[in-house]
Amino acid sequence: MAESIMVGCDLHDKSMLLKIAVDRGRPVTRPWGTSRATRQAMIRDLRQRAQQAGAPRIVFAYEACGFGFRLHDELAAAGIEAYVLAPSKLERSAHHRKRKTDERDAQLLLDKVRSFVLAGVALPAVWVPDLVTRDDRELVRQRLKTAEDAAAVQLQIHWLLKRNGIESAPGKSRTAVRRQWLEGLIRDGSLAGGATAALASLLRQLAWLQSEIERLDEQVQALSQTARYSGPLAALRTSGGVGVLTAMVYLTEMGTLSRFRNRRQVGAFLGLAPSSHESGQQDDRKGHITHQGPSRVRKVLCQAVWCRLRHVEAERLAYQRVVQRNPQHKKIAVVARMRTLAVRLWHVGLAAQVAEATAVTD
């Protein structure tokens, strides 16, 4: 009787390739589609294989991708042990990268599963958030994406003016004065016909995006006042420079804060820990931060730090102490303050989440 069925899945938008092995046996390759009906057929096939082999355990792994956690949920609901692996933590040789195929990728994932099941080697699995957290992320991420789109349109306007010999404009990019000035360029014929039409199109896009940002801000504000977030959000906002959007990005991307045991794990998850390259006697070689984890959190932390540098005296003094040690690397000082702020938010947010959970239990 077999002990387990192990599966490595190379998942794509419209297809997935499975490498399936029974214990230490030779793996078989099985292609599938990704429609709902096909996924359910694949699950039935795996359960049938397990029944025929007498294996009580099925272990399935695939890489995190745009498909999200839907496949994980369906596998778990069917009683299959499912894992979503972090692509950044899967080591691939130079030989593998130059001969990358779906079958080799599936085999790599199967090897990871086999190491986990047969030898107890830890899987580089990501944390799977609950359905509510995932849904909340959709709103907050859309708010950030819309702001990025608006910034991209503003940059297009800037370079359109540059290309047509107009190099200065009054006010900042979001002021009414600047917009009136740009509309005046359209009315008075300062630009040629094609450039005028392009500028008018960009201004319409920008107006829509800015109105959409306002609508999304209202929805994020409403979400922040729900019972799930109101307590932790209030705790995070006690730190200067942290607004509603920054706090909501932090809470939705970090999820359950109790899953982190210490500040080192927080820094590593956010990609704010220094990279290392040690070998032999070279045992203290540190490099740039790893930039792994959610870049959205790093972005809002950076914005919050700059705000704190302008308005919080203690923050400014701590920044200056780092800069004095190396005036040529001010970015290092900013990253150091980002990491400090991230850890501070973790402490206060964790305390608020624990208090909220205790109140619900009581």
| Predicted pLDDT at 329 | 83
Q: What is the DSSP letter of 87?
A: G
Q: pLDDT (tens digit, 9 = 90+) per residue, 136-190?
A: 999 999 999 999 999 999 999 999 999 998 877 666 656 788 888 899 989 888 8
Q: pLDDT (tens digit, 9 = 90+) per residue, 265-296?
A: 999 999 998 887 666 666 565 678 888 889 99
* 249 and 354 belong to one structural domain: yes
* 236 and 285 belong to one structural domain: yes
* 41 and 160 belong to one structural domain: no
Last-in-domain residue among 58, 85, 119: 119
Q: What's the sign of the alpha-carbon dihedral 354, 356, 359, 361?
A: negative
**What's the first-to-final CA gap in the chain, in angstroms?**
48
Q: Which residue has the higher pLDDT, 92 or 214?
A: 214
| Predicted pLDDT at 20 | 97
* 14 and 85 belong to one structural domain: yes
**DSSP symbols for 163-209:** HTT----SS-TT-HHHHHHHHHHHHTT-S-HHHHHHHHHHHHHHHHH
* 21 and 102 belong to one structural domain: yes
Q: pLDDT (tens digit, 9 = 90+) per residue, 28-69?
A: 999 999 999 999 999 999 999 999 999 999 999 999 998 889
Last-in-domain residue among 224, 258, 279: 224
Q: pLDDT (tens digit, 9 = 90+) per residue, 94-150?
A: 877 788 899 999 999 999 999 999 999 999 999 999 999 999 999 999 999 999 999
CA distance 267 to 137: 21
Q: How far is CA 285 from the centre of its chain?
A: 28
CA distance 72 to 62: 9
Whether residue 305 is predicted with pLDDT greater than 60 in this model: the reply is: yes
Strands 28-33 and 57-63, bridge-based pairing? unpaired
Q: pLDDT (tens digit, 9 = 90+) per residue, 250-271?
A: 999 999 999 999 999 999 999 9
* 194 and 242 belong to one structural domain: no
| Predicted pLDDT at 291 | 87
* 234 and 273 belong to one structural domain: yes
**Side chain identity, residue 287:** G
C-beta of residue 344 within 8 angstroms of C-beta of residue 266: no
Structural domain count, the chain: 3
| Phi, psi (rounded to 5 degrees) for 221 | -60, -45
Residue 294, in any domain of the structure: yes
**pLDDT confidence tier of residue 239, bands split at 50, 70 and 90:** very high
Whether residue 93 is predicted with pLDDT greater than 90 in this model: the reply is: no
Whether residue 234 is predicted with pLDDT greater than 60 in this model: the reply is: yes
| Predicted pLDDT at 169 | 67
Last-in-domain residue among 224, 241, 257: 224
Q: Which residue has the higher pLDDT, 327 or 26?
A: 26
Share of the chain above pLDDT 70, in %: 94
Tell me the β-bridge partners of 28: 20
Task: Look at the block and give the residue holding tokens 């909501």.
Answer: 248
| Predicted pLDDT at 171 | 64
Mean pLDDT of the chain: 91
* 172 and 263 belong to one structural domain: no
Share of the chain above pLDDT 90, in %: 76
**Side chain identity, residue 168:** S
* 354 and 237 belong to one structural domain: yes
* 171 and 140 belong to one structural domain: yes
| Predicted pLDDT at 280 | 62
Residue 125, in any domain of the structure: no
| Predicted pLDDT at 357 | 78
| Predicted pLDDT at 175 | 75
Residue 302, in any domain of the structure: yes
Question: What is the domain-level CATH number for residue 42?
Answer: 3.30.420.40
Report the half-sphere exposure of 231 (CA within 13 A, side-chain side).
Answer: 15
Residue 124, in any domain of the structure: no
| Phi, psi (rounded to 5 degrees) for 109 | -70, -40
* 236 and 353 belong to one structural domain: yes
Domain housing 73: 4-119
Q: What is the DSSP letter of 125?
A: B
* 14 and 98 belong to one structural domain: yes
Residue 126, in any domain of the structure: no
